[in-house]
Amino acid sequence: MGTLQLDGVRLAYWEEGSGQPVVFIHGVGTSGELWARDLAPFAEHCRLIVYDRRGYGASSESPRDWRGHRDDAIALIDALRASPAVVVGYSGGSIIASDLTLERPDMVTSLVLLDPAFNLRRCLNKAPAERRERLLQNSAAIFDDFASGGGEHVDESRLAGIDVPVTIIEAGLSPAFLRRSCERLKGLMPQARTVTLPNSGHHVGFDAADELITILREAKTTTTAGPE
């Protein structure tokens, strides 16, 4: 684990591999550490960067604002000289990934939204034991994420104009409200390629790690995007 100090903000991060940078932004109640471990085999194919958002793990206290998390991601990519990067946003992290792409398209080669959730207040569901324990450890950060709203600040009318390749990965066994979130995003982003993991719940890194890594490898090498 490494640590960055950025204008008074501390971000803990994990970096492995070389080549095309891939920056992974975790969601609500999880952590960068878990995802760095889940995605470790992917680092054979890229420069994988995963970090704890503020409020989680060894990073600073939450900014209680999704724009603050977006700015953290931008600062992290700048500090690690990882631009342009494939940006992956999981669950609530999809808010940050989408906002970053709209704010700084020069930093993004492609965008991946992994079982995206724009309504965070309804995103908690059953989890494996280790992830339940991590969720409890991050309880304060979870409430801070909820207090930040559901991503309403993102101008949804601009999402269709994102011209880097976009992949939406939906988990077939996720709760209905998350499946509706994916359906809504597909309507807002007709340019996106959609991939379904039919046997995975929302904890994709646990349920379908191998399939996820295969899809991320495809997204990393994609240069054009279009609906399936």
CA–CA–CA angle 119, 125, 129 (5° rounding): 140
Please give the single-letter amino acid code of residue 182: C
- Statement: residue 181 has pLDDT above 80: yes
**Residue keyed to tokens 């990067």:** 85
Query: What average pLDDT does the segment 1-13 reach?
Result: 95
Rounded Cα distance between 8 and 66, Å, is 18
For the stretch 105-163, pLDDT in tens is: 999 999 999 999 875 444 444 445 565 565 556 556 665 666 676 778 899 999 999 99
Question: What does the pLDDT read at residue 227?
Answer: 38
> Quick check: 71 and 9 in contact, CB under 8 A?
no
> Quick check: 32 and 52 in contact, CB under 8 A?
yes
Q: Peptide bond preceding 84: is omega within 30 degrees of 0, i.e. cis? A: yes
Rounded Cα distance between 16 and 49, Å, is 7
Do strands 47-51 and 21-25 pair parallel, antiparallel, or not at all (unpaired)? parallel
Please give the single-letter amino acid code of residue 166: V
How many other CB atoms are found less than 10 A from the CB of residue 227?
A: 11
What domains, with CATH codes, occur in the chain? 2-221 (3.40.50.1820)
For the stretch 53-63, pLDDT in tens is: 999 999 999 99
Q: Across the chain, what does the average pLDDT equal?
A: 87
pTM for this predicted structure: 0.87
3-state secondary structure of 137: helix
Question: What does the pLDDT read at residue 158?
Answer: 96
Listed in sequence order, the residues at least 6 apart from 108 whose beta carbon sits closer than 8 Å to its beta carbon are 84, 85, 86, 87, 100, 101, 164
Question: What does the pLDDT read at residue 145?
Answer: 66
